[in-house]
A and B are shown apart, each in its own frame.
Chain A
Amino acid sequence: MEHRGLGLPALLALLAPCCCAAPGPTLWPMPLSVKTSPRLLVLSRENFSIYHDPSSTAGPSCSLLQEAFRRYYDYIFDFNKSQLGPAKRNSAVELKQLLVSVVLEPECDLYPSITSDESYTLAVEGPVAFLKANRVWGVLRGLETFSQLIYQDSYGTFTVNESNIIDSPRFPHRGILIDTARHFLPIKTILKTLDAMAFNKFNVLHWHIVDDQSFPYQSVAFPELSNKGSYSLSHVYTPNDVRTVIEYARLRGIRVIPEFDSPGHTQSWGKGQKNLLTPCYNGPKQSGTFGPINPILNSTYCFLSQFFKEVSTVFPDQFVHLGGDEVEFTCWESNPEVIAFMKKKGFGRDFQRLQSFYIQKLLGIVSTVNKGAIVWQEVFDDHAKLNPGTVVQVWKNEMYPVTQAAVTAAGFPVILSAPWYLDWISYGQDWRNYYKVDPLDFDGSQEQKKLVIGGEACLWGEYVDATNLTPRLWPRASAVGERLWSQQNIKDLEDAYDRLTIHRCRMARRGIAAEPLFTGYCNF
């Protein structure tokens, strides 16, 4: 019970019939171009199927599409509900088929990448609808949209309006960050998150897999890292677990980008890898505590080489996130060997230079194994020399448009996260704030703005585990999803509210415990 300073309009909204099958599309995110006609088509479980168009470059051998066809068939017809007998015939035209056609080389057995073509067109008319895309990635996006067009009328008949949709994303990098170090996330939770991401056309899972608190990644080359660094032996991701996540994601057109954050945020690495972290000093004596990774030892880079060599084979994506944020200099400052090294290198007392020295060597290692790098903004802010193409993730909230301008002016691609820290919960409809962000709202040229490749909604794990992850992520992250997929002019909050409430119920129906936006109910 709140002081309802909302007044009469809000009360009226409460009385309005709530989120049932609304006329017109309730699509999320809103496609590039949608034309709907009032002409209705009906479809039934028994008489409808999804097929490969004979002219498609993909066919039944494409297991990614086969899996998707089955999945979306179940989403459309609510596999939970029992069907009783044949469909009720009426005068409406029946939709019997969705024919799927891939135009170019499908890329069916490949992994999605930053350059993947996710565009598609959807022509829904009786008796055959056509979904056309350049690659399988567009088919996946199109199937999701198609499933959102279908609704049940008050008789329960599966209905769809004749429509014509042309769609492609505004930004190619649309991600969710999960943190499995502050709290272990069971594989089931990660897979559920991937499902929800697909419903919202997200295409990157930024897996912040290890940090100070725990090291759940089971390395084959360095098994002690997780043996000693995980919360317990049951709080570990085996190579099989990782493979499961990567393939599950791939089948949904989602890239998995791991983050092995260093040189800070590495306390847990020291448990299983002796002499990796910098010993801190209390005057002349070691204090027994440790700081960031020790940047002055050859053994450090030997370890990192081997470690990232393994990572580069385990994770197929072109990019690896190297972190580089929030490096505390106090421990380095206290260590006499580090001080001596600084002197020798001519860094003086400027520890940013030592940090940059480390990062640059790490970037070199990573490029040796043919991966691109993503780093947090400190790496750029603190003047490390970055290889062209290194992606900078902007996360600090103070004046982030200024940071975006600086990074893009220097020619580096940007991933925006600063306004989208979903772990920062507050009372009320904070999704509206996420929705209102415009990623290109900074001072810069057209070329600079082209360098903003997208953004990520971050769900840091200090206060999040499997008990509350899903309602905390969804549907708030959906607001970010539309901001990153849909065009800049899609910003009407009222319309967004109407569509998002229905989309939220759709997610709930599909097994995602997305929390409510406001009062009301779901019609199932």
Chain B
Amino acid sequence: ADFWSQEFSGILPPGLCFATNACYRTAVQSGYQVAESIVPGDIEGKQHAPEKSSLVILVGTPGCNELPSLESGENYTLTINDDHCFLLSETVWGALRGLETFSQLVWRSPEGAFFINKTEIEDFPRFPHRGLLLDTSRHYLPLTSILDTLGSYDPATHIYTAQDVKEVIEYARLRGIRVLAEFDTPGHTLSWGPGVPGLLTPCYSGSHPTGTFGPVNPILNTTYEFMSAFFLEVSSVFPDFYLHLGGDEVDFTCWKSNPDIQAFMKKQGFGNDFKQLESFYIQTLLSIVSAYDKGYVVWQEVFDNKVKVRPDTIIQVWREETPVHYTKEMELITRAGFRALLSAPWYLNHITYGPDWSEIYMVEPLDFKGSPQQKALVIGGEACMWGEYVDSTNLAPRLWPRAGAVAERLWSSELVTSVDFAFKRLTRFRCELLR
């Protein structure tokens, strides 16, 4: 394999990078000059500790200008000893992960000098999808909040412009983070109505429209014309292969009340089963989106209501007890051959008094009945921070360090379960985050 290596010494060397400079700017922020200690904590030894002047990063495949994907490898090895100080990875994404780990290994003596212990690390994530859900609809989050969460907006309009979106996507990319956009339909769409007249279903009381609206109207051609045009745009604005199409919590009351829909249901032979109408909508939407060469993630209702979806659909499990306990849901989804994302026990917007991070930490995503093939279909999970009670005034303290518990559960081996050990590291890590 072709290797290219970069000397990394905390000063950006000119001309050495044949990927974008941005790739290295990120790297520079997390590095330090290091000195190697001969024996950990050996005070006399410190006087004569050999100095390391550079961490050499070797990446197997160039990919500096690419976007991370679900399939991206994030493996790396870190070797720090008398002779070597290098970070080895097949991909740039692994190098980013390795740099974060490297930065966590460096410590300071009471005198202020920087040290690193002899170290051998081989690391790779347990799950490839380790996500954080941010809700910018219940409360607008200024770009700084979003970017700070990831590692020039207009406060008056509470809008994310195309430029804003680009900024978020690039900022994320430089940190090896995918941006998965969710445009939830047919429910949760009241705000779409004012800007697209005729999109939402008019609700009726008897034979008269009440003036209020329900979910997206699934019986009109105009609906699908709109969705086609809208998702064509969304597909190009958001470069990740996957789009999240929502599909949760569709309230059937308004559909039920609408006479045109009642007629449509009769014509289609759906009887009184509105789940079939919901399926009809979702399937049409899914074929629109597939035509744009995108994969999709949907909430579990789409699966629970037996919508016909493509086999490579990812189902996100969010409901704790209904229709079944979430572990059972994971079993059902993987048994049907779909990939699953776990969120149900990780609703970080659910706050309570005391250190709830340990319950979050002790969740085992594969703790359900299933074959090894089934378990392999669990691609990871997402900590969710729904925005009903959250905006930029309280997002950060509500997210961190509790989301850290989810992060370790999704990255580290299933054998890493000691809460005491986690507590020690997490309290330190929290102070690092503040720094």
A302 within 8 A of B: no
On chain B, the residues within 8 Å of A8 by CB distance are 212
On chain B, the residues within 8 Å of A4 by CB distance are 249, 251
Instruction: Check if A521 sits within 8 Å of B249, measured CB to CB.
Output: no
B387 within 8 A of A: yes
Residues of B191-249 contacting chain A, CB below 8 A:
212, 248-249
On chain B, the residues within 8 Å of A399 by CB distance are none
The residue of chain B having its C-beta at the shortest distance from the C-beta of A520 within the complex is: B139
Give bound CA distance, A4 to B187, whole Å: 11
- Name the distance in Å between B151's Cβ and chain A's nearest Cβ: 17
On chain A, the residues within 8 Å of B434 by CB distance are 467
The residue of chain B having its C-beta at the shortest distance from the C-beta of A469 within the complex is: B397
Instruction: Check if A427 sits within 8 Å of B352, measured CB to CB.
Output: yes
- Among A2, A426, A508, A515: residue with most chain B CB under 10 A: A515
Of B117-125, B388-396, B414-422, the one with at least 4 CB within 8 A of chain A: B388-396
- Name the distance in Å between A433's Cβ and chain B's nearest Cβ: 14
On chain B, the residues within 8 Å of A1 by CB distance are 135, 188, 248-249, 318, 384, 386
On chain A, the residues within 8 Å of B355 by CB distance are 463
Q: Quick one: CB contact mask for A1-32 with B, threshold 8 Å, 1 for yes?
A: 11110001001101100000000000000000
Give bound CA distance, A3 to B248, whole Å: 10
Instruction: Check if A426 sits within 8 Å of B352, measured CB to CB.
Output: yes
- Name the distance in Å between A371's Cβ and chain B's nearest Cβ: 34
Q: Quick one: CB contact mask for A427-438 with B, threshold 8 Å, 1 for yes?
A: 111000000000
A313 within 8 A of B: no
Determine which of A3, A426, A517, A519 lies in contact with B351 in the assembled complex, contact meaning CB atoms within 8 Å.
A426
On chain A, the residues within 8 Å of B138 by CB distance are 519
Give bound CA distance, A426 to B349, whole Å: 10
Determine which of A508, A513, A515 lies in contact with B389 in the assembled complex, contact meaning CB atoms within 8 Å.
A515
Q: Quick one: CB contact mask for A509-520 with B, threshold 8 Å, 1 for yes?
A: 000011111111
B350 within 8 A of A: yes
Give bound CA distance, A524 to B140, whole Å: 12
B158 within 8 A of A: yes
B354 within 8 A of A: yes
Give bound CA distance, A521 to B137, whole Å: 10
Give bound CA distance, A4 to B389, whole Å: 14
Determine which of A12, A428, A463, A516 lies in contact with B391 in the assembled complex, contact meaning CB atoms within 8 Å.
A516
* A425 and B353 contact, Cβ closer than 8 Å, known pairs A515-B391, A521-B139, A524-B155: yes
A424 within 8 A of B: yes
Instruction: Check if B394 sits within 8 Å of A471, measured CB to CB.
Output: yes
The residue of chain A having its C-beta at the shortest distance from the C-beta of B210 within the complex is: A8
Instruction: Check if B389 sits within 8 Å of A428, measured CB to CB.
Output: yes
The residue of chain A having its C-beta at the shortest distance from the C-beta of B343 within the complex is: A1
B143 within 8 A of A: no
Instruction: Check if B389 sits within 8 Å of A518, measured CB to CB.
Output: yes
Main secondary structure on A side of the interface with B: loop
The residue of chain A having its C-beta at the shortest distance from the C-beta of B140 within the complex is: A521
B190 within 8 A of A: yes
Give bound CA distance, A371 to B394, whole Å: 40
On chain B, the residues within 8 Å of A15 by CB distance are 190
On chain B, the residues within 8 Å of A513 by CB distance are 393-394
Main secondary structure on B side of the interface with A: loop
* A427 and B318 contact, Cβ closer than 8 Å, known pairs A515-B394, A516-B139: no
Give bound CA distance, A113 to B434, whole Å: 39
A212 within 8 A of B: no
Instruction: Check if B353 sits within 8 Å of A468, measured CB to CB.
Output: no
Instruction: Check if B353 sits within 8 Å of A426, measured CB to CB.
Output: yes
Give bound CA distance, A261 to B425, whole Å: 32
Instruction: Check if B394 sits within 8 Å of A518, measured CB to CB.
Output: no
Q: Quick one: CB contact mask for B142-173 with A, threshold 8 Å, 1 for yes?
A: 00000000000001101000000000000000
Instruction: Check if B139 sits within 8 Å of A519, measured CB to CB.
Output: yes
On chain A, the residues within 8 Å of B390 by CB distance are 515-516
Determine which of B155, B190, B393 lies in contact with A471 in the assembled complex, contact meaning CB atoms within 8 Å.
B393
Give bound CA distance, A470 to B155, whole Å: 22
On chain A, the residues within 8 Å of B318 by CB distance are 1
Instruction: Check if A467 sits within 8 Å of B397, measured CB to CB.
Output: yes
* A12 and B188 contact, Cβ closer than 8 Å, known pairs A471-B393, A519-B388: no
Residues of B364-398 contacting chain A, CB below 8 A:
384, 386-391, 393-394, 396-398
Instruction: Check if B155 sits within 8 Å of A468, measured CB to CB.
Output: no
Give bound CA distance, A518 to B384, whole Å: 17
On chain B, the residues within 8 Å of A515 by CB distance are 389-391, 393-394
Instruction: Check if A423 sits within 8 Å of B353, measured CB to CB.
Output: yes
On chain A, the residues within 8 Å of B212 by CB distance are 8, 11-12
Instruction: Check if A471 sits within 8 Å of B352, measured CB to CB.
Output: no
Give bound CA distance, A15 to B214, whole Å: 13
Give bound CA distance, A11 to B249, whole Å: 14
- Among A428, A517, A519: residue with most chain B CB under 10 A: A519
On chain A, the residues within 8 Å of B384 by CB distance are 1
Q: Quick one: CB contact mask for A406-428 with B, threshold 8 Å, 1 for yes?
A: 00000000000000000111111
On chain B, the residues within 8 Å of A12 by CB distance are 212
On chain A, the residues within 8 Å of B248 by CB distance are 1
Instruction: Check if B350 sits within 8 Å of A514, measured CB to CB.
Output: no
Determine which of A427, A467, A521 lies in contact with B349 in the assembled complex, contact meaning CB atoms within 8 Å.
A427
Instruction: Check if B393 sits within 8 Å of A514, measured CB to CB.
Output: yes
On chain A, the residues within 8 Å of B386 by CB distance are 1-2
Determine which of B249, B352, B393 lies in contact with A508 in the assembled complex, contact meaning CB atoms within 8 Å.
B393
- Name the distance in Å between B159's Cβ and chain A's nearest Cβ: 11
Q: Quick one: CB contact mask for B330-349 with A, threshold 8 Å, 1 for yes?
A: 00000000000000000001
Instruction: Check if A425 sits within 8 Å of B351, measured CB to CB.
Output: yes
The residue of chain B having its C-beta at the shortest distance from the C-beta of A4 within the complex is: B249
Instruction: Check if A427 sits within 8 Å of B350, measured CB to CB.
Output: yes
* A468 and B188 contact, Cβ closer than 8 Å, known pairs A424-B353, A427-B350, A463-B355: no
- Among B248, B351, B396: residue with most chain A CB under 10 A: B351
Give bound CA distance, A102 to B352, whole Å: 47
Give bound CA distance, A12 to B203, whole Å: 13
Give bound CA distance, A8 to B205, whole Å: 13
Give bound CA distance, A424 to B353, whole Å: 5
On chain A, the residues within 8 Å of B351 by CB distance are 425-427
* A468 and B389 contact, Cβ closer than 8 Å, known pairs A521-B140, A524-B155: no
Give bound CA distance, A49 to B318, whole Å: 57
On chain B, the residues within 8 Å of A518 by CB distance are 388-389
On chain B, the residues within 8 Å of A468 by CB distance are 394, 397-398
- Name the distance in Å between A450's Cβ and chain B's nearest Cβ: 34
- Name the distance in Å between B433's Cβ and chain A's nearest Cβ: 10
Instruction: Check if B388 sits within 8 Å of A425, measured CB to CB.
Output: no
The residue of chain B having its C-beta at the shortest distance from the C-beta of A471 within the complex is: B394
Q: Quick one: CB contact mask for A488-517 with B, threshold 8 Å, 1 for yes?
A: 000000000000000000001000011111
On chain B, the residues within 8 Å of A426 by CB distance are 351-353
On chain B, the residues within 8 Å of A514 by CB distance are 393
Chain A residues with a Cβ under 8 A of chain B? 1-4, 8, 11-12, 14-15, 423-429, 463, 467-468, 470-472, 508, 513-521, 524
6 pairs of A and B residues whose beta carbons are closest in the complex: A468-B397, A471-B394, A513-B393, A515-B394, A519-B138, A424-B353
Chain B residues with a Cβ under 8 A of chain A? 135, 138-140, 155-156, 158, 188, 190, 212, 248-249, 251, 318, 349-355, 384, 386-391, 393-394, 396-398, 434
6 chain-A/chain-B pairs, Cβ below 8 angstroms: A12-B212, A425-B351, A428-B389, A472-B394, A513-B394, A515-B394
Given A425-B353, A427-B352, 5 more contacts at CB 8 Å? A426-B352, A508-B393, A516-B389, A516-B390, A519-B138
